[in-house]
Structures are given as C-alpha cells and as structure tokens.
Amino acid sequence: MPTEQPNKRVPIIAGNWKMNLDVAESLRLVREMRERLEAVTGVEKVLCPPFTSLAPLQAELAGSAVKLGGQNVFWEEKGAYTGEISPLMLKPLCEYVIVGHSERRQYFVETDATVNKRVQAALKHGLKVIMCVGENLEDNRSGRTEEVIARQVRGGLENVPDLSEIVIAYEPVWAIGTGLPATGAGAAAVVSFIRRTLAERYGDNAARNTRVQYGGSVNGGNIAEFMGESEIDGALVGGASLKAADFTTIVARTAEIKGSQAS
C-alpha cells in the first residue's frame, strides 16, 4: 500500500471583479482592504481586476502578500488580434489568470478547446491558472452535472502535463450572481468528483494536492458553510469581492476555519 501523503493545499480566495471599477475605483477599494487582507495568514489572496487596473494595482501592492490575476488571456504571444491580451503582457503584471469563466463561455463563444489553448499558453509563460468549470441550470436539473464537469475538466486540461500551477474553480452557472448559492455539501460532492476526474489522468496524489475552489454567490455570511467542507479549498468571489467588508470577512473566516481543520 502506498503511504498517503498529507494534504498540502493552502486555501485560496480570489476576487473576480469582472467588468467593474475603473483605475481610481480599483485603487480606492484596494486601499480600503489592504491592511485587513495582509493581516490574515494561511490563505492565499488574489485580486483579479480588469486589465486596465493591473499595472496601477501592482504598483500599489508592491511588497504586499496580496496577489493579482487577470480575468482572461489569449493564446498567441503577439500579432494582429485586436482587443486581445497576450500571456507575455500579463506575466510581468500578475501571478494568476482566470481561464474559462462561464461568462466567457456564455458570451464570448469560449469552448473547452479554446479554454485549453489559453491554459496551455498561460502555463507556458509562467502564469498560474484558475480554470473555471460548472454546469448550467438545465444540465443540473437533468442530472448531467458530472458529465458536463468531466468534459470541461478533461477538455480544459488536454495535453497539460501536470497540475502544479493549476487551481480549479467549481462555479455552477445557476449560482453565479443569483444570490442562490449551492449548498456546502452539494458543492463538496462535485469538488470530490472533480478530484476523481483529475486522478484518472494525474494520479491520486496530484489530485489530492490540487486546490479546488467553489464560486457562486459566496459572501461573508455563507463562506463558513463552504469552508467547513474540507474538500473545498477556498472561493472565487464575484459581487462580494467588490465590497471591502464582505471580502475581508470571507478571507478572515477562511483562515479561521481552514486553520482549525489543519490542526
């Protein structure tokens, strides 16, 4: 029997600001949250503002433990791709990039194949990836959640040799921006399924060491329900990440709860 390695997963809370906040508003929000975020240890903290705010926030956060991420990345390095952002442009500005968010899949014709191209390009250029997966309401209601999630996980990670720089975000589409989150137990069951899917290709240890977040109507009031599930390693937060009090509460509660699970 191989010996089981301990779980080494550091919880990660990422704020996806989506298409909100100009540069001045971004700086204001970060100045409001910064001290409280930095005071929390044991949780990785990532802010994903619009591209236009990355450089000013990088300067503002110099020397801070609060990290930055992009919300998308194109797969080509440069060229005639009007409106796109290359991994070479992102790399000097941030550590993470979100890929395959359901809003990109829904409004910008993102497919598992294009998600995969973005994942590979990001990794090639040293960016860490938060890859989003999640079923829509119809798939959920008709019992196809696992089928959809397995296809998104396998497709998004095609030809990705290892998971060391990958975080998966499980974001059921029906829970995003609706104020109707999944239950902790329901999300944990899908997160376990994601780990089983990862294990098929990468083995049990790699799957066990890969962080999987939950996202979808997370706020300061319900974060405990999700972080109480040991399978879930943090959250990808939309609306509540635009409110300093809510976001800092989410980070602080995560540290408390995950700290007590680890001990």
List active site positions: 101, 171
DSSP annotation of 39 reads T
Residue 16 binds ligand 13P (CB under 6 A): yes
Contacting residue, 218, 232, 251, 255, with ligand 13P by CB under 6 A: 218
Residue 236 binds ligand 13P (CB under 6 A): yes
Residue 194 binds ligand 13P (CB under 6 A): no
Q: What are phi and psi of 260, to 5 degrees?
A: -75, -30
Q: Which is nearer to ligand 13P, 47 or 237 (CB)?
A: 237
Residue 234 binds ligand 13P (CB under 6 A): no
Beta-bridge mates of residue 215: 236
Residue 215 binds ligand 13P (CB under 6 A): yes
> Which residue is listed with tokens 């301990």?
6
Contacting residue, 217, 222, 248, 249, with ligand 13P by CB under 6 A: 217
Show Cβ contacts of residue 42 under 8 Å, excluding neighbours closer than 6 positions: 10, 11, 255, 258, 259
> Taking contact as CB under 6 A, which single stretch among the options 33-41, 110-118, 152-160, 171-179 is the one that binds ligand 13P?
171-179
The three-state (H, E, C) secondary structure of 249-262, written as one string: HHHHHHHHHHHHHH
Q: How far is the CB of 36 from ligand 13P (least distance, A)?
A: 19
Q: CA distances (Å), 254 to each of 40, 167, 184, 257, in order?
A: 9, 17, 14, 5
Residue numbers at the binding site for ligand 13P (CB under 6 A): 16, 101, 171, 176-177, 215-218, 236-240
